[in-house]
Chain A
Amino acid sequence: MSLQVICANLIVSIKSFYREKTAVFFRIAFPVLLILVFGTIFMNQDNVRLDFNVQDLDGTDSSAELVKTLEFNPKFKITMVDPAIDAAMYARENKLSLVVVIPKDYESSLIKRIKRKDLKAAVTVSYIYDPSSTSVDTKMQILNSVFAEINQSMSGKPQFITPAQTSILKRKYRFIDFFVPGIIAMTVMTASLFGAVNVNAELRQKGVIKKLSTTPITHTDWILSNVLYQFLLSVISTISILIVSYTVFDVSLLLNLWLPVFVVLDVFAFVGIGMVLTRVAKEAESAAAAANAIMFPMMFLSGTFFPVEMMPDFLQNFSRILPLYYVNEGLRASMIFADNMVALRCSVIIGVFATVVFILGTMTTKWEEG
């Protein structure tokens, strides 16, 4: 192993990198843009407001009081609908997801129930809804709980079960706090995988590797300098992501030694996969296609963009065999939950995987022709 040779390779790789504007964009600017876009989209997720419409057919003080009660819920944003029009048609024409219709006999029934203690007196509040709306179920569930609470208080008996909330986190975290570790893991994966594929497949196809094989550079020098180069770029992109996340979104993440550990393991694992792919797929184009075929499922099924728990059981099981899942879990465990045990468990799993694929990649990467 020669330090001079490794440095020479690093210099050439870095010069090639900054002279290729698209590489700079995809390596540094793209993950930052992802953070900006998704961070902005989900910035107000915790203060989300549920819009719906109310048609008050009763038009009495009591029905107005009910509307006020609903408006008291900070999650609801209510728009009134003229009682003279057909609510279903209005909802269809105006593409409304939910119209709550208070019936005409609301006040009279309420009086019967409260003053005359007539337990048979009841009203039906109708939900006219668009089943294709993704939020309508949530809206109806919250409304049901509001109405259940009203019914319960009308019964005059105290609640038997009272829910109490205790967060497992020391402070309140937002979506962006969960998103940043996932983006770091994904960026390092993508760059390491494609970096290895491009360097090895493209340079081999162009004949550069053949030329290098007639010089004193060794296999180990070449692979080590490539890993160092990928690590260097990963550090730059991780720092860029963190700077933007802190300055624009004021994220609260724990930065400790686990971060460089997972970045290094991420680099080794995916450079290893890239080297294996390059050997299996002879042409640069097919190697890149194979890298895409690996990258996309990994990106969407490893919990980078949304929690794995949202997926069906069989996909959750599949996620747990993906290496990126353990990088995501490990980074979140260390950066959000301060859970060293989970971080350690994930680092061991990804570490073993990285070792195996990297050794395999090193063994399969041959300079000498057949």
Chain B
Amino acid sequence: MTKEAEHAIEVKKLTKRYGDLLAVNNISFTVRKGEVFAFLGPNGAGKTTTAEIIETIRAPSSGKVCLLGMDVTKKKHKVVQHIGVLPQGFSSFDRITVRETIEYYSRLFNCRNTDIDKLIELANLKDKSKEQFKNLSGGLKQRLGIAIALVNNPEVVFLDEPTTGLDPRARREVWDVLLGLKKKGKTVFLTTHYMEEAELLADTVAIISKGSIVAMGSPGDLIESNANYLALTLGAVDEKVFEIIKKIRFEPVRANHNSIKVKVEHPEDVQKILNTIKDSGASFLSLDVRKPNLEEVFLKLTGAALREDFAEKVAQ
């Protein structure tokens, strides 16, 4: 590791091709030490390919990738000493217990000082330490995967879709573990297609679509610069409300359950719409005003939804 390495990760003009398929298209970015960097994009966008190139699992077609100042293609054996990886769909030896699995990986790294109990505690697996891997639920497996990724006390932790396929409760449990890592000041490279995950955990988010980075910044900045409006939803409205809003030069959109959505730029516009409806004698039953999220940013930037369920939600 070079002493003067400013960034934990530096990716320059990285391209990866599989035959005719261009999986990663000339992307460049840097990850600061101690930050949580989220790669946000739908399935097949190139998130995992990029992560696996940095993790030394795959070779790039072109471009340069450095981790802590070391070229990952030339110094694989040194690079792996400084990283901890939770691969996508993490799996381990079926009949080996939680404790034994952590011990095994710690031996691979020749880490004599690994505090196995502490890692088990960090991953909230104390009650399951004698359980064989095959008997663990999806969430427990992911938490074990995170514990294993930390056996060598790595400077950079890669978490590839750590909560995919987990139920909401298990997802929150994994998030708690990740928040713990953030508190410890670890550099975390997170790939996800859950915008709430990126928004909750990441300092920097890179939105990737079809192999290219389309936007990068903090979640707040991305929302501010790409979706600077308020979304007003009026539920169970009278028939005439739609026309009333149109008359005052807003653009209402009919949604499901007899509701109307309106994008407004300023909070005063909300008041203006509500006053106009009140003055006209029309009525509505419910009111919701909220700021847009990363998912809407992604939709705006790429014209595609991150997840199918969100696409359906937007369509409604």
Q: List the interface of chain A (C-beta within 8 A of B).
A: 2, 4-5, 7-8, 11-12, 15-16, 19-20, 203, 206-208, 210-218, 368-370
- Beyond A11-B104, A207-B91, whether A214 also contacts B59 by CB under 8 A is no
CA distance A54 to B290 in the complex (A): 106
Question: A5-B107, A8-B108, A207-B90 are known contacts. Are A16 and B56 too (CB-CB below 8 A)?
Answer: no
Q: Can you report 23 A-B residue pairs in the complex whose CB atoms are below 8 A from each other?
A: A5-B110, A8-B107, A8-B108, A12-B100, A12-B104, A16-B94, A207-B87, A207-B90, A207-B91, A208-B92, A208-B93, A211-B90, A211-B148, A215-B80, A216-B77, A216-B80, A216-B81, A216-B110, A218-B77, A368-B56, A368-B58, A369-B52, A370-B59
Closest to B18 in A: A370
| Residue of A12, A19, A211, A217 touching B85 (CB-CB under 8 A) | A211
How far does the alpha carbon of A178 sit from the alpha carbon of B203 in the complex, in Å?
72
Closest to A221 in B: B108
Of A16, A20, A210, A370, chain B has the most CB atoms within 10 Å of the CB of: A210
Residue of B56, B93, B107 near A214 (CB, 8 A) is B56
Q: State whether A213 touches B95 (Cβ < 8 A).
A: no
Q: Mark B284-313, 1 if CB is under 8 A from A, else 0.
A: 000000000000000000000000000000
Does B132 count as interface, using CB distance less than 8 angstroms?
yes
Known: A16-B96, A20-B95, A216-B80. A2 touches B90 (CB 8 A): no
Report if B105 contacts A (CB, 8 A): yes
Nearest-neighbour CB distance to chain A for B258, whole angstroms, equals 48
In the assembled complex, the CB of B60 is this many whole angstroms from the nearest CB of chain A, namely 12
Interface digits, B29-73 against A, CB 8 Å rule (1 contact, 0 not)? 000000000000000000000001001111100000000000000
Q: Identify 14 new A-B residue pairs, CB closer than 8 A, beyond the known A2-B110, A12-B93, A216-B81.
A: A4-B110, A5-B110, A7-B107, A8-B108, A12-B96, A15-B96, A19-B132, A208-B91, A211-B87, A214-B87, A215-B80, A215-B108, A216-B80, A368-B57
**Could you tell me if A8 and B56 are in contact, using CB atoms closer than 8 angstroms?**
no
Q: A215 to B109: give the CA distance in the assembly, Å.
A: 7
Complex contact A5–B108 (CB within 8 A):
yes
Contact A368–B59 (Cβ < 8 Å): yes
Residues of B within 8 A of A7 (CB): 107
Number of inter-chain CB pairs below 8 Å: 76
A210-B56 Cα distance, complex, nearest whole Å? 10
Check if B83 sits within 8 Å of A8, measured CB to CB. no
A11, B56: Cα distance in complex, Å: 27
Give complex CA distance A232, B88 in Å. Answer: 34
Q: A368 to B89, alpha carbons, bound, how many Å?
A: 17
Min CB–CB distance B135 → chain A (angstroms): 12
- 8 Å CB contact of B58 from A2, A212, A369: A369
A203 to B18: give the CA distance in the assembly, Å.
23
Distance (whole angstroms) from the CB of A180 to the closest CB of chain B: 32
Q: CB-CB < 8 A to A212: which residues of B?
A: 108
User: Closest approach, in angstroms, between the C-beta of B160 and any C-beta of chain A?
Assistant: 10
* B52 contact set on A, CB distance < 8 A: 369
Interface readout for B90-122 with A: 1 if CB under 8 Å, 0 if not?
111111100010001101111000000000000
Q: Determine the chain B residues whose CB is within 8 A of the CB of A368 once the complex forms.
A: 56-59
Residues of A within 8 A of B55 (CB): 214
State in angstroms the CA–CA spacing of A5 and B77 once bound together. 14
Closest to B83 in A: A214
Bound CA–CA A4/B107 (angstroms)? 7
Measured in the bound complex, the distance between the Cα atoms of B132 and A20 in whole Å is: 12
With A211-B85, A368-B58, A369-B57 known to touch, is A217 a contact of B108 (CB < 8 Å)? Answer: yes
Nearest B residue to A16, CB-CB: B95
CA distance A206 to B108 in the complex (A): 19
Whether the Cβ atoms of B108 and A210 lie closer than 8 Å is no
**Closest B residue to A15 using CB positions:** B96
Q: Considering the chains assembled together, what is the distance between the CA atoms of A11 and B97 in angstroms?
A: 13
Closest to A17 in B: B95
